Amino acid sequence: MSLFIQIAFIILTFSAALCLFRIGRGPTAPDRTVAIDILGTLVVGFCCLMAVWTRREFYMNIAIAWALISFVGTLALAKYLEGRSYDA
């Protein structure tokens, strides 16, 4: 179990590095927004693997909270891109 989870962490970290590359390089603002959204989803998977590896369930709370907060942040950025006011 331990070796498998460690390899999984390496793959997830490499994926997150690719997302960070797109956040830094991305020519337009929507590119960066999508990359931030994907990075949040990757962090959710990371937290769940931590919960299985360490047998501590509070990592699942972090994962749920991160998924919801990331969704709200992405929606706010999308409305900003669209040029609409936030309460319409």
Residue 13 lies near other proteins (rule: CB under 8 A): no
3-state helix, strand, coil in the chain (%, to 5): 85, 0, 15
Size of the residue set binding other proteins (CB under 8 A): 52
Q: In the 8-state DSSP scheme, what is residue 9?
A: H
Q: How far is the CB of 15 from other proteins (least distance, A)?
A: 4
CB 51 within 8 A of CB 57: yes
Contacts of 64 (CB under 8 A, 6+ apart): none
- The yes or no reply on residue 2 touching other proteins (CB under 8 A) is no
Near other proteins by CB under 8 A: residue from 2, 3, 44, 54: 44
C-alpha separations of 46 from 7, 10, 58, 79 in Å: 12, 10, 13, 28
54 interacts with other proteins by CB under 8 A: no
Task: Please report whether residue 12 would count as binding other proteins according to CB under 8 A.
Answer: yes
Q: Binding residues for other proteins, per CB under 8 A?
A: 1, 4, 8, 11-12, 14-16, 18-19, 21-22, 28-31, 33-35, 37-38, 41-42, 44-45, 48-49, 51-52, 55, 57, 60-61, 63-64, 67-68, 70-71, 74-75, 77-86, 88
